[in-house]
Structure 1
Amino acid sequence: MERILIIGAGQAGAQAAVSLRQGGFKGVITMIGAEPAPPYQRPPLSKAYLKGELEEQRLYLRPAEFYEAQEIDLRLGVAATGIDREAKTVVTDEGETLSYDVLLLATGAPPRRLNAPGADLEGVHYLRTLADSERLRPMLSAPGRVVIVGAGYIGLEVAAVARQHGRDVTVLEMAPRVLARVASEPVSEFYQTLHRNNGVDLRLGAAFEAFEGEHRIHAARLKDGEAIDCAAALVGIGAAPETRLAEEAGLEVSNGIVVDEYARTSDPAIFAAGDCTNFPSPRYGRRMRLESVPNAIEQAKAAAANMIGGETVYDALPWFWSDQYDVKLQTVGLCEGYDELVVRGDPAAKKFAVWYLKDGKGLAVDAINDPASFAMGKKLITAGAALDPAKLADTGVDLKTLI
């Protein structure tokens, strides 16, 4: 094997390229990315970078010179338009045909687009790329209300930044609580209180209808007829895996590019990693798709090892984080399917953890300004330790004694 081609220059693609070299691969590595910037961190785009507190170069995962030094042919501003599996080639939007022996798809998960009147008006934003964050930044200093559609992590993080810059903010969430897909009621209630205490006009059970304006947005209209005047809007209604290339190439796709435990697709010469994949989790006994930096990194490491002949099973413990105001949420594990919930600490003090148990063992932890619970949660869940709910709830009990 002499040529490995990586489509996607995000966290997963970059990690795979680095891991291939670290794993001893001496052949040609070509990585193509549609954006002009070298691989960079996305989480700060809704936080420090949006605020202007972080320079672009500090987002980069590696200096641009690193790729040259490692003989990684990094092609930026180039998008793949098609895969010919039989010929083992990829065509780019520049008309070039690139050959591969093994291909990695690391195409990510762009934001879901809002299908509603006025969604294409100037002033309606999405947030995934550097360019998106830069286009959004002027709203922090411009007059007028900001409307955010969707109370997931991106929406709430941008709401926090906007309020910290003195903007009036309305958040519209169709569900009865924020973070409904990913968190329990105690966590949702905490964030609802946090945002309202910081002056956010948070509307739950709000049915969005349309944006209004001539060329530029001037209002968001709800289905009950209410119009909320605004100067800008952010749509944060989730992300959809980028699977077009895989589908058109005839690969198996179902809520992501379907891979096995080795990150291999239905074509043995093609692997996939990161937000775009639907993979089997031995830990949870089901298939899943995760949107997180740790998942992208660890799955890319496994994919890289297996692309050069390894047999590494991907079964990392998922974890996530979010920063809003003076609050850091750190989550380890997935809480879906829990049969008992334990709150440790005091939500009113902005320091507590919610532990999710199943059959007496740790399934997940949401730690809010509580790094110790996050760190111990990782250890206890990994160890499969039996946990006493009463001891978990007692802040006088050292978590280390539970291992």
Structure 2
Amino acid sequence: MLETTAPIVVIGAGQAGLAAASKLRDLGHAGPLTLVGDEPEPPYQRPPLSKAYLLGEMARERLFLRPSAFYAERDLTLLTGRNATEIRRDERQVMLSDGSALPYQHLLLATGARPRLLPGPDLQGVLVMRSLADADRLAEAVRPGLRLLVIGGGYIGLEAAATAVKLGLQVTLVEAAPRILGRVAAVETSDYFRELHRAHGVDLREGVGLAHLTEAAGRVTGAVLTDGSHLPADLVVVGIGVLPNIELAQAAGLTCDNGISVDAYCRSSDPAIFAAGDCASFPWRNQRIRLESVGNAIDQAEVAATNMLGESCEYQAKPWFWSDQFDVKLQIAGLCGRHDRVVTRAGAGAGRSHWYFHGDRLEAVDAMNDPRVFMVAKRVLEGDRPVDAAFIADPANDLRALLAS
């Protein structure tokens, strides 16, 4: 059992970092607790940045996860605008960019992820969407009528396109793969969102990638695509995925594999160092995965915090995600990677859902504007309950019966 007065340091002041720090205090840790963030702001929500915040529907203050008084009330030292530059494992110290050193008994790495960038020089007008600063830059740049090119047809790119249309921009989205959402969803879900975006005026092009951007005086003017076509553009948003921030861990000699490798207890290859959130890869159903979601960040961080105090609590991941595009709320339960069959169920009104099966086992569900189906599906997956595909396909059947079996 860790002494409740031992110093703990958390690197990364996002959802995972704050969740861990809060949980440590809830569990009775009374020692020095320091939360280090490289951004100037206190911990804030990222999901609204590309939607409500960019649309002007959410004030900046509402983004922050806790009021400023929270940190003093919980005796939590919050250091913003500082990078962790080195982990000295033998000395159990973290060195910061301001030259200071933080001693630790246990250390949590919640360093998150960063956007993948395009190769080549930085150009004005080429933007990404990850941080509050990114959202502010985009908000300053957008004006009705401007031509926006979105590169990438995953959820990041699709959400950016949907918001830009609402702001009055002319939007083109290009995806190099044969279809949008190709890595994360079935053909049926890709078809649904392709139709949705085109119905709202997005020029959506699949199977064609970016050859290179064009520029004048250091500012982007357009793009040449791999099919030889040229697209003029006033702005470009790059949404081609993220990379886990593992450099600090790698430099310290920690094992990394698509993230900082942790065991079922969120512990890294150094038993004094834990990791959680977007930066951590962990064992799940005989494979190693890394999840990028608010739910995972919070749940995994709380398990890590519990184990830092000497418990042996396994992290049982329950993958779920959401995406808001135009008037559609997509809610996802589970992971669809192993599916070999998809069953579509019509829902109430415009709602519908896609159920992913691998053999007879339910793997995941995509629910579009169907929150009741999502909640049932989430519970079914968490309980690993048997599911009859024919029962799912008939909209006359009450899905709540699945919870009684």
- Per the normalisation by structure 1, the TM-score is 0.96
Misfit runs of 4+, over 4 Å: none
Partner of 1:239: 242
**Cα distance in 1, alignment partners of residues 400 and 145 from structure 2:** 50
- Give 1:180's match in structure 2, choosing from 179, 182, 189: 182
Partner amino acid for 2:169?
Answer: R
- More displaced 10-residue stretch of structure 1: 267-276 or 142-151: 142-151
Partner of 2:271: 268
**Within 5 Å, which residues of 2 pair with 1:218-257?**
218-257=221-260
Please say if 1:66 is aligned against 2:67. no
The alpha-carbon distance between structure 1 residues 142 and 96, as it changes in their structure 2 partners (threshold 3 A), is farther
Q: 1:64, CA displacement in angstroms?
A: 1.4
Please say if 1:387 is aligned against 2:390. no
**Cα distance in 1, alignment partners of residues 297 and 341 from structure 2:** 30
Please say if 1:373 is aligned against 2:373. yes
**Cα distance in 2, alignment partners of residues 250 and 305 from structure 1:** 24
**Cα distance in 1, alignment partners of residues 181 and 343 from structure 2:** 18
**Cα distance in 2, alignment partners of residues 60 and 303 from structure 1:** 23
Q: 1:391, CA displacement in angstroms?
A: 1.2
Q: SS of 2:277's equivalent?
A: coil
Partner of 1:197: 199
Once the two structures are superposed, what CA deviation does each residue of 1:302-350 show, in whole Å capped at 9, x if it has no partner? 0000001011100121100000000000000001112331100069x63
**Cα distance in 2, alignment partners of residues 146 and 329 from structure 1:** 24
Once the two structures are superposed, what CA deviation does each residue of 1:56-89 show, in whole Å capped at 9, x if it has no partner? 1111111111011000000011111111000111
**Cα distance in 2, alignment partners of residues 162 and 223 from structure 1:** 24
Once the two structures are superposed, what CA deviation does each residue of 1:252-290 show, in whole Å capped at 9, x if it has no partner? 011100000000000011000000001011xx2211011
**Cα distance in 2, alignment partners of residues 218 and 246 from structure 1:** 39
Unaligned runs of 5+ in 2: none
Aligned 8 A contact 2:264 2:283 in 1: yes
- Give 1:140's match in structure 2, choosing from 133, 139, 142: 142
Once the two structures are superposed, what CA deviation does each residue of 1:189-243 show, in whole Å capped at 9, x if it has no partner? 0000000010000010112011111211111111233221111000000000000
Partner of 1:341: 342
**Cα distance in 1, alignment partners of residues 140 and 81 from structure 2:** 25
Q: SS of 1:187's equivalent?
A: helix
Partner amino acid for 2:361?
Answer: K
Q: 1:142, CA displacement in angstroms?
A: 5.0
**Within 5 Å, which residues of 2 pair with 1:2-401?**
2-115=6-119, 117-118=120-121, 120-141=122-143, 143-214=145-216, 215-281=218-284, 284-345=285-346, 350-401=350-401
Q: SS of 2:332's equivalent?
A: strand
Q: 1:351, CA displacement in angstroms?
A: 1.1
Q: 1:390, CA displacement in angstroms?
A: 1.4
Q: 1:132, CA displacement in angstroms?
A: 0.2
Partner amino acid for 1:374?
Answer: F
Aligned 8 A contact 1:157 1:323 in 2: yes
Identity %: 48
Once the two structures are superposed, what CA deviation does each residue of 1:328-376 show, in whole Å capped at 9, x if it has no partner? 00000001112331100069x6310001123423211100000011000
Partner amino acid for 2:396?
Answer: G
- More displaced 10-residue stretch of structure 1: 217-226 or 93-102: 217-226
Q: SS of 2:113's equivalent?
A: coil
Once the two structures are superposed, what CA deviation does each residue of 1:2-34 show, in whole Å capped at 9, x if it has no partner? 100000000000000000001111111001101
**Cα distance in 2, alignment partners of residues 350 and 325 from structure 1:** 14
Aligned 8 A contact 2:145 2:168 in 1: no
**Cα distance in 2, alignment partners of residues 202 and 350 from structure 1:** 22
Unaligned runs of 5+ in 1: none
Q: SS of 1:217's equivalent?
A: strand
Aligned 8 A contact 1:3 1:29 in 2: yes
**Cα distance in 1, alignment partners of residues 145 and 327 from structure 2:** 25
Q: SS of 1:245's equivalent?
A: helix
**Cα distance in 2, alignment partners of residues 160 and 248 from structure 1:** 39
Partner amino acid for 1:304?
Answer: A
Aligned 8 A contact 1:342 1:393 in 2: yes
Q: SS of 2:123's equivalent?
A: coil
**Cα distance in 2, alignment partners of residues 225 and 336 from structure 1:** 33
Q: SS of 2:213's equivalent?
A: strand
Q: SS of 2:13's equivalent?
A: coil
**Cα distance in 2, alignment partners of residues 185 and 304 from structure 1:** 39
Once the two structures are superposed, what CA deviation does each residue of 1:95-128 show, in whole Å capped at 9, x if it has no partner? 111111110000001111111x45x100000111
